[in-house]
Amino acid sequence: MSEWYMKKGDAVAVSTRIRLARNLSEFPFCSLMNASQLAELNEKVKAAILDSNMPFSKQLKFIYMDTVPENEKYAMVERHIISPEFAANSSGKAIVLSDDESISIMVGEEDHLRIQIIKEGICLDDAYDIAERLDTMLCDKLNFAFDIELGFLTSCPTNLGTGLRASVMLHLPILEANGKISTLADSVNKIGFTVRGMYGEGSRALASFYQISNQITLGISEKNALDNLKAIAMQLIEKENEERQSLNKIKLEDMCYRAIGTLMNARLLSGNEMNNLLSQFKLGADMGIISLDVNPLKIMVEAQPYMLMRKFGEMGPDERDIYRANMVRKEFEKR
Amino acid sequence: MSEWYMKKGDAVAVSTRIRLARNLSEFPFCSLMNASQLAELNEKVKAAILDSNMPFSKQLKFIYMDTVPENEKYAMVERHIISPEFAANSSGKAIVLSDDESISIMVGEEDHLRIQIIKEGICLDDAYDIAERLDTMLCDKLNFAFDIELGFLTSCPTNLGTGLRASVMLHLPILEANGKISTLADSVNKIGFTVRGMYGEGSRALASFYQISNQITLGISEKNALDNLKAIAMQLIEKENEERQSLNKIKLEDMCYRAIGTLMNARLLSGNEMNNLLSQFKLGADMGIISLDVNPLKIMVEAQPYMLMRKFGEMGPDERDIYRANMVRKEFEKR
């Protein structure tokens, strides 16, 4: 088993993410908790998770964030395991993590528990199924704050109810290039979904990757929320595929091969340029223009600043551009 | 023997050109000549050139421009054999051309005869030597308009005297990048030399290639004009080489390899982009960063619009970009 970005996902649908927000009724919300309450929360979650009767217990590790080196925290953000806010403010907090990093639980983020499942491709039902099983088992051992009228109680009212945020990451270079993405995002917004960049809230679209997620958590069942999101995602995928059919073949080939030419030859490569080039390469590969056994998502994740430093040691941005270029070149050379 | 652009020349000094303007005293200047006078001029030059006592006669061909296809005329411009004005207005005119195209004489351009010698590298004395021998022999057979006070009489007073225009083509990417070229050009101008783009008068610098030529033809000996030009050129070459020493090695490598990456991968390539990339490649090759047995000058000349059409047949600009990209790719692949 390996991380989501080690697998190629689908052509347009790159990955799926399920997040459940849960709180324990015996504690105040995180923003009001003191250090000893946070420590107590950690121990309760740890005990629940590591209970040998838990089917997941063998694949899950409980990690105190104070034992995690600073750079590794941000490398976790780059792997989509924790949020940037959690990395920046993780003192006394903890995470639960599966070996393949597809299951993670932030303890002490905005809510007491943020359960996350992340998988390659579009697989909302499968990912939710895992989240639900984990949730059910934790629910047995932990006293989740739940109101019969409102559902799960959450720190922020936008999560009240199901506490479910589901999202799919889509690669939409042609809808973006044709200027159709903003109109589509507006329509999607009006019916309770958001379209955002690769790194969630507030982040700009990076290399034509867009996250589509549900906004409504109150007065809707989990199944309906997932079905609606799936329908929206399928529509966007279809539209992107439609637009791809009318592309000028020679221009597309030119773009794709130029991207490879630069990726295979640059001696200095910024993260931003690399991501854009890999996005162009992915489009060409997905459209069958080239068949190179290279996984652009793997490179995009592994060549980010903290992921690079995790592998090659502390360095400044200029040096990272050199290491990034070398790493990318090797990935393409060994294809 | 092959054309100047088939040889690599020196790192900075790409080629040398000598041009002599000559007129026959029995005819009015070209702008005032009628068709029959032009025909008569042609025949006189032809007879002189093809005279078996001429040492050059075996390597020289006399070509009536009316027998040259339109596209080939412009391909000759691209090979620096004739001027764009001559190509555009060549009815009834002629050229004399050596097999390796290093010797050419336009008959009926601005002056009755424009004798040109073009050679790779910087070799003003050698090139002038050939021009002078040719001039001496033609002088024996043709009645050149010459004034004991003024020297050779020419259509335009700027050529009066020696009728000599000598130039060297220099590759000055770093003087250009550092913004020093315009100051240098101004200084050079003040002492009677001009700095121009690759295709002579009025043409802008293309891919960092600059032509340095003498302006003064009156009251100066040919030897002095050539020595002064050589001194100026050597100074510019030295300055360019000095600036190259302080370059950031990794940035230079990055630029050079990216250029190769694009040249070897693009499926669409405009002439302008290709020239700039080949200029970057040439800099890297000349500085020993890469050793690929590719001659950028050959490609720059052979991938120009009319040179392409000469080889592959009539086509529009879009199609040329495809053929150009294919040709460039093959040149790099077979290295």
Residue A325 in contact with partner chain B when CB distance is under 8 A? yes
Which chain B residues have a beta carbon less than 8 Å from that of A251? Answer: 268
Best probe of the A interface among B256, B258, B323, B326, by most A CBs < 10 A, is B258
Query: CA-nearest residue of chain A to B319?
Result: A250
Asked if A262's CB is within 8 angstroms of B266's CB, the reply is no
Q: Which pLDDT belongs to residue B288?
A: 93
Nearest to A257 among B250, B260, B266 (CB): B266
Local confidence pLDDT in tens for the 335 residues of chain B: 578 888 776 889 999 999 999 999 999 999 999 999 999 999 999 999 987 677 777 889 999 999 999 999 999 999 999 999 999 999 999 999 999 999 999 999 999 999 999 999 999 999 999 999 999 999 999 999 999 999 999 999 999 999 999 999 999 999 999 989 888 989 999 999 999 876 555 555 688 999 999 999 999 999 999 999 999 999 999 999 999 999 999 999 999 999 999 999 999 999 999 999 999 999 999 999 998 889 999 999 999 999 999 999 999 999 999 999 999 999 999 87
**In angstroms, what separates the C-alpha of B297 from chain A's closest C-alpha?**
22
Phi/psi of residue B70, each to 5°?
Answer: -50, -50
Which run of H or of E encompasses A87?
Answer: helix A84-88
Q: Which pLDDT belongs to residue B57?
A: 78
Q: Which pLDDT belongs to residue B52?
A: 67
Asked if B250's CB is within 8 angstroms of A265's CB, the reply is no
Query: CA-nearest residue of chain B to A322?
Result: B250
Q: How far apart are CA A131 and CA A81, in angstroms?
A: 15
Q: Please name the CATH architecture into which domain B4-243 falls.
A: 2-Layer Sandwich (3.30)
**In angstroms, what separates the C-alpha of A268 from chain B's closest C-alpha?**
6
The answer to whether ipTM exceeds 0.90 is: no
- Would you call A136 helix, strand, or coil by DSSP? helix
Low-confidence stretches of chain A (pLDDT < 70) are: 1, 9, 52, 198-205
Residue A70 carries which side chain, given as an amino acid letter?
E
Q: Which pLDDT belongs to residue A198?
A: 64
Q: Which pLDDT belongs to residue A10?
A: 79
Closest CA to A167 of A119, A218, A114: A119
Closest CA to B111 of B193, B222, B20, B190: B20
Sheet arrangement for strand B164-171 = B60-64, B94-98, B103-107, B113-120, B13-22, B164-171, B209-214, B193-196
Long-range contacts of B303-307 (CB under 8 A, 24+ apart): B303/B269, B303/B271, B303/B274, B303/B327, B303/B328, B304/B75, B304/B78, B304/B271, B305/B74, B305/B78, B305/B271, B306/B71, B306/B72, B306/B74, B306/B75, B306/B77, B306/B78, B307/B75, B307/B78, B307/B79
pLDDT one-digit tens code per residue, A256-286: 999 999 999 999 999 999 999 999 999 999 9
Best probe of the A interface among B254, B277, B320, by most A CBs < 10 A, is B254
Nearest to A258 among B253, B254, B262 (CB): B262
Q: Which pLDDT belongs to residue B206?
A: 82
Render B259-305 in DSSP notation, one character per residue: HHHHHHH-S---HHHHHHHHHHHHHHHHTTS------HHHHHHHTSH
Count the helix, strand and coil residues of chain A and give each as a percent rounded to the nearest 5: 50, 20, 35
Asked if B266's CB is within 8 angstroms of A322's CB, the reply is no
pLDDT one-digit tens code per residue, A73-122: 999 999 999 999 999 999 999 999 999 999 999 999 999 999 999 999 99
- DSSP H helical segments within B51-167, as ranges? 70-78, 84-88, 124-141
